[in-house]
Structure 1
Amino acid sequence: MNARHQQIIQLVSERGSVSVNELALTTGVSEVTVRQDLNVLEKGGFLRRVHGSAVTPESDDVGARMQTRFAVKKRLAEYAASLVKTGETVFIEGGSTNALLARELSVRDDITIITVSHYIAGLLREKGGDVIILGGLFQRSSESVVGPLTRLCIQHLNFHKAFIGIDGWDTATGFTGRDMLRCDVVNAIMEKQTHTIALTDSSKFGQIHPYSLAPSHPFKQVVTDAEIGEGYQKALISQGTILSLV
């Protein structure tokens, strides 16, 4: 490990998330060299690469991931917020774009929000409408609750729309996630008779993760940005999915 590698590790550790562009400017090398460095450091377990940035190796640091592709995610959150009508009850599952959606909805007192995410609940603590936080086993890495009790709570609640964060989608596998317990929670939501919306930026398309999301209950709608590949667009539409590009 050279001095530049050590500098990158320290920056990412202190900040939680640092863009490739900023790392290149700070270390005085090209972005190509930084990406090569990040590949080496990710293999060593020192950090994790996401689209255009490096983040700390924790599996689901929502605060750090909110800073990656922030402008795109904010536009997605603003559009998603426009889908929520007065008087509705909505489920916000988790993830960085959903956290930004919660921020957008925090100015409204005419809706009720249900969530499994303590991080999202924290964003809503000072203003907005009613917030229902589900019970369950607290997962520290994602700041969310999971497990059988959470699934039971979902089964006894009703809501008009559900916004779900996803980790990957591929034509061969459909939607997938990194965490088995969080995927189980999502699948419980998908079993409800409600309008389910996958809210994600386009960097997740083409990625495959171990656990299937909604294998028998497909999403009604996908909200993503216009950078998604044309082939992915056609595949989603052919499945009967409402595709909203922002």
Structure 2
Amino acid sequence: MAELHRHQKILALLAEHPFLSVTELTDATGVSAATVRRDIDKLEKAGFGQRVHGGIAAEKGHHARRAIPLPFMENRDIAVEQKRAIAAAASTLVRDGTSIIIHGGSTCFHFGMAIARRNLRVFTHSMPLAAYLAEYGECQLTIGGGDLHREPGIVYDRFADERAFYASQFFVGALGIERQGLMETNPLLVQLTRDMAAFANEIIVLVDSRKFAERTSTLSLPFAQIRRLVTDDGLADADARMLEEEGVDYIIAARKGETDT
């Protein structure tokens, strides 16, 4: 079982049981006790639980709300109707002939599909999106260099100099949205998000409304850097008020093709 799938399995079990022993986890995942202990260390550092003698304990009051990152191919096919509506609304914010950066993630992938045939210069680190645009797109495509990280499907080298590409807009997703801003658990995505934000005039967040209920461990971008957010018509009133209080303009992408602000 791959590491990401093991972590998802452990977190799913931890949501049901306040304590899991190393022995229980070796049986559930089919790996050695040493591997399970390393998994426990990583989950504890990410804020998903607490290492205790003989296993891992759920963080009291928090474990049921923690966001669990899903593999890209699985996440791409969740809430598709909402993501397509968000992509369509976001595409109206882009002017032909401009340069844009598109982050990885499933909602950004749907956005990339929506602008694939536009007269644009697109920069991305997302391998799934780059593959789609290469086959079906008509835009000018630039792919970030570096090592391939199969999950979450990113090619990235944090030491690469990419200052030659400067964009009008950076379209980015997130694993969760809290009052502080955009939240993630993957250190790679946190660093990449911060790096790309420095190369764009405007940052536009693309997230479906489920992300406002997720709780993750690391701030990737504060709302102070965010110009606009596009979400679906499931946005709760409390979350809308939070965005207004933080000074973030938002667009609600109705699934019938109408948008409200």
Q: Output the TM-score relative to the length of structure 2.
A: 0.68
- Partner residue in 1 for 2:38: none
What letter matches 1:231 in structure 2? A
RMSD: 2.6
Give identity over the alignment, percent. Answer: 20
> Aligned runs of 1:134-153 on 2, under 5 Å?
134-150=144-160, 152-153=161-162
- Does structure 2 conserve the Cα–Cα contact (< 8 Å) formed by 1:222 and 1:243? yes
Asked if residue 160 in structure 1 is aligned to residue 168 in structure 2, the reply is yes
Residue of structure 2 equivalent to 1:111:
120
CA contact (8 A) 2:121 2:141 kept: yes
Structure 2: stretches of 5+ with no match in the other structure: 6-11, 30-67, 254-261
Tell me how far apart the structure 1 counterparts of residues 88 and 197 of structure 2 sit (CA, whole Å): 23
For residue 159 of structure 2, give the secondary structure of its aligned residue in structure 1: helix
Give the Å deviation of 1:59.
Answer: 4.3
Q: Are 1:135 and 1:149, in contact at CA under 8 Å, matched by a contact in 2? A: no
Tell me: CA distance 1:217–1:135, structure 2 relative to 1, closer, same or farther (3 Å).
farther
What is the match of residue 5 of structure 1?
none
What's the counterpart of residue 74 of structure 2? 64
Q: Is residue 69–residue 175 contact of structure 2 (8 Å, CA) maintained in 1?
A: no
Instruction: Quote the residue 2:177 is aligned against.
Output: 169
What are structure 1's unaligned runs of at least 5 residues?
1-12, 14-35, 47-57
Contact 1:92 1:102 in 2 (8 A): yes
Number of residue pairs the alignment of both structures matches: 196
Q: Secondary structure at the match of 1:162?
A: strand
Matched AA of 2:190: C
Moved over 6 A (4+): 43-46
Q: Which moved more, 1:234-243 or 1:214-223?
A: 214-223
Task: Compute the displacement of 1:193 (Å).
Answer: 4.7
Q: CA deviation at 1:221?
A: 0.5
Q: Aligned to 1:240, which of 247, 251, 261?
A: 247
Partner of 1:220: 227
TM-score normalised according to structure 1 size: 0.72
TM-superposed deviation, 1:84: 1.2
Higher relative contact order (CA 8 A, sep 6+): 2
The within-5 A match list for 1:6-45 is: none
Shift of residue 192, structure 1, vs aligned partner: 3.4
Report SS of the residue matched to 1:198.
strand
Once the two structures are TM-superposed, the CA of residue 121 in structure 1 deviates from its matched residue by 0.2
Matches of 2:90 and 2:204, distance apart in 1: 9
Check conservation: 2:170, 2:202, Cα contact below 8 A: yes
SS at match of 2:221: coil
